[in-house]
A and B are shown apart, each in its own frame.
Chain A
Amino acid sequence: MTVITLTIDGRSVATASGATLLEAARAGGSAIPTLCHLEGLSPVAACRLCLVEIDGDSRLQPACVTAAAEGMVVRTTSPRLAELRRTVIELLFTEGNHVCAICVANGHCELQDLAVAVGMDHSRLPYRFPSRSVDLSHPLFGLDHNRCILCTRCVRVCAEVEGAHVWDVGWRGEHCRIISGLDQPWGAVDACTDCGKCVQVCPTGALFHKGDGTEEKEGHPEQLQVLVRARQQGGAP
C-alpha cells in the first residue's frame, strides 16, 4: 500500500493512495456533511453537499468521489462552502413537500439533521408545493414521493446489495422521480424480495414501514455496512 500525504484544513493527513478526499478528511478529523453518500454503496455525487475547495482548482469538487492526491491542499469549510451547503439544503426542502411535524421520520431524519448543521432556521428560497403521489401498493412498505430527495440510495442498495434492481430514476427535471419496475406500482413488481433494505437506507421519511406512525421510522444504514463488510471478508454476517 502506497501512502500519500496531503493538507486538509491546515492539518497534514496521511492516507492510502486510492482513498477519496472524504475518507482522508474524516480520518484527519474534518467533518464533511454528506447525504447521497453511504458507506457500502457505490458513490454517485448527486447531492453536492460534500463539495470542498482544492488549491489550484477553481471549481469545487465533491469529496465523496474525488481521489486524494499527494501534496493536495484542501479546505472543507469556508464562508463560500457554508453558503453553498445551506442553499443545497434549502433547495431540497423547497423542491418537495417536507411537513416534518407529521412525518414518519421526524426526529430521526438525515435531512432535518443537515438543516440544523447548516444553520437553516428558514428557507430563503420559495417553496414549490409540487403535487406528488404516495405509493402504498406494497404489502409491507410505502413510498411517499413528497419526501423523496432523489439521493438514489434505494436504487443502489437494491441493485448492488440485494441484487433485485427494483428501483430506478425516471423522467427529468421537476418531473424526476424514483420508479419501481417499469414505472409500475411497487406492489406489482415481482423482483422485490420484501427485504426492506431500501427502507433501512433511505435518509428521509420517503420510504417507510407501513406500521410506522409519526416519528417512528428510524433508518439503519449501519446494518447494511455490517452486511457489506461481511461479504467482502467472505464470511457469513
Chain B
Amino acid sequence: MSRLNVATVWLAGCSGCHMSFLDLDEWLLEFAELANVVYSPVASDTKVYPEGVDIALVEGGVANRDNLELILKVRARTRILVSFGDCAITANIPGMRNMLGGSEPVLRRAYLELADGSGALPQAPGLVPELLEQVLPVHQVVPVDVYLPGCPPSADRIRACLEPLLHGEWPVMEGAELIRFG
C-alpha cells in the first residue's frame, strides 16, 4: 500500500492535542513508515496547506478569519477530516468567550476593562486576524468525517483512531475509552 499524506492543523486550541500526538512516542516511528507528514505545526515547515491530503487531524475551534480561511482550504483539499479533540468538536475552552455574546464585548473585556489604564483595542487589518462573532465547532463550518473527542485525546485514543485510517479502515469510535469528553 502506498504511503498516505497526513496533515495536522492547529486552529483555536491550546496545542495540547498536538502535544498528546507527540506522546505517541515510539509508535511515531511506525507512523512515519505509513505516512508522509505533508503539513503540521509540529512536524513540517510547509506554510501552505497542500492539495491531495488523505487524512487531516484538526485541533481547535474556528475562532478568527485565519482559522476560517484555513479550514475551508483543509476541507477542499482533504479526503478524511478528523475533528481532533474537544475544542474542535464542542468549541470547549475557546468557546467560553461565546458566553460574553460576540467579539466586541470579548475585546472590550480583554483590552479595555482589564487593562491598567492604557488599554487600546488591537487594530492591525491584514496582520492580526479579526475574531469571528463566535468560536464554532469545526463541523458547524465544514463537514467532518471522524470525531476524536477528549481534552486532549490520550495518545492511545489517537492511535486507536489513526491506525485503522492508515490501513484504509474506518475506526469504530465508541465506549468510554474512545469518546468520553473531557
Contact = CB atoms under 8 A, between A and B. Distances in A.
Given A99-B92, A101-B92, A122-B149, A112 B99 contact: no
Interface string B33-54: 0000000000000000000000
Interface in A90-143: 93, 97-103, 106-107, 109, 112-113, 115-116, 119-123, 126-127, 129-132
Contacts, number: 74
B17 to A, nearest CB: 11
Interface centre among A98, A122, A130 (most CB of B within 10 A): A122
Interface of A is mostly: loop
A115 B140 CA distance: 19
B180 A116 contact: yes
Interface in A20-63: none
B140 A121 contact: no
B99 A97 contact: yes
A102 B140 CA distance: 23
B147 interface: yes
Nearest to A103: B182
Given A116-B176, A122-B147, A127 B137 contact: yes
Contacts of A132: 99
B179 A97 contact: no
B95 A101 contact: no
A99 B93 CA distance: 7
B174 A119 contact: yes
A127 B134 CA distance: 11
B12 interface: no
B28 to A, nearest CB: 25
B151 A127 contact: no
B89 A121 contact: yes
Interface of B: 83, 86, 89-93, 95-96, 98-101, 134, 137, 139-140, 144, 147, 149, 151, 173-176, 179-182
**Nearest 6 pairs of A and B residues by beta carbon:** A100-B182, A101-B151, A129-B98, A121-B147, A106-B182, A100-B181
Given A100-B182, A121-B147, 13 more contacts: A97-B99, A99-B90, A100-B181, A101-B92, A101-B151, A102-B93, A107-B182, A116-B180, A122-B83, A122-B90, A127-B95, A129-B99, A129-B134
